[in-house]
Amino acid sequence: MKLPDREKLLKYSKHKESEEMCLNIIPVAKPRMTQSDRWRKRLVVLNYWAFRDEIFYGALAQGYNPSFELIMEFIIPMPKSWPASKKLKMDGSAHQQTPDIDNLEKGILDSLFVDDKKVHKVMASKIWGYNGKVLIKNWHHMY
């Protein structure tokens, strides 16, 4: 599924151009896909495509203009089964389980760029939080 041309759609954004974006959604890693995913429609692939669209249209709505140097922060929601004491302890700490951070990055790059090979600097982190969130900033804006 091909996303629309971002540059053409950006002129219709209601917000001024921004160097960062924040979306309150649960991060989804890019799954390993095969040719059969075009007709088989596995749930994991459909969830990824929905996430990719959400990132694309969220960036568009916020007027986010990505550079080729990005800072990404993924906040992974804690399981509801955890007791409150464990949630309090883990909030903001490093998330060291699946999904892998490189697969989370791929999902963002696929949604923001037609040709993501031009991206040459990425700093990414994933942490535990009460709710899912994706934060993306342009590197040159920060440093």
- Asked whether residue 13 carries a pLDDT value surpassing 90, the answer given is no
pLDDT, position 61 = 85
Tally Cβ neighbours within 10 Å of residue 74: 25
Domains of the chain with CATH codes: 20-142 (3.30.1330)
Question: Which of these ranges, 55-64, 81-90, 118-127, has the smallest mean pLDDT?
Answer: 55-64
pLDDT by residue (tens digit) across 85-103? 999 999 999 999 999 999 9
Output 6 or 64, whichever has higher pLDDT.
64
pLDDT, position 6 = 57
Question: H-type helices in the chain, by residue range?
Answer: 6-10, 37-40, 43-62, 84-90, 101-112, 139-142
Query: What is the pLDDT confidence band of residue 30, given thresholds at 50, 70 and 90?
Result: confident
CA gap 137, 21 in Å, rounded = 6
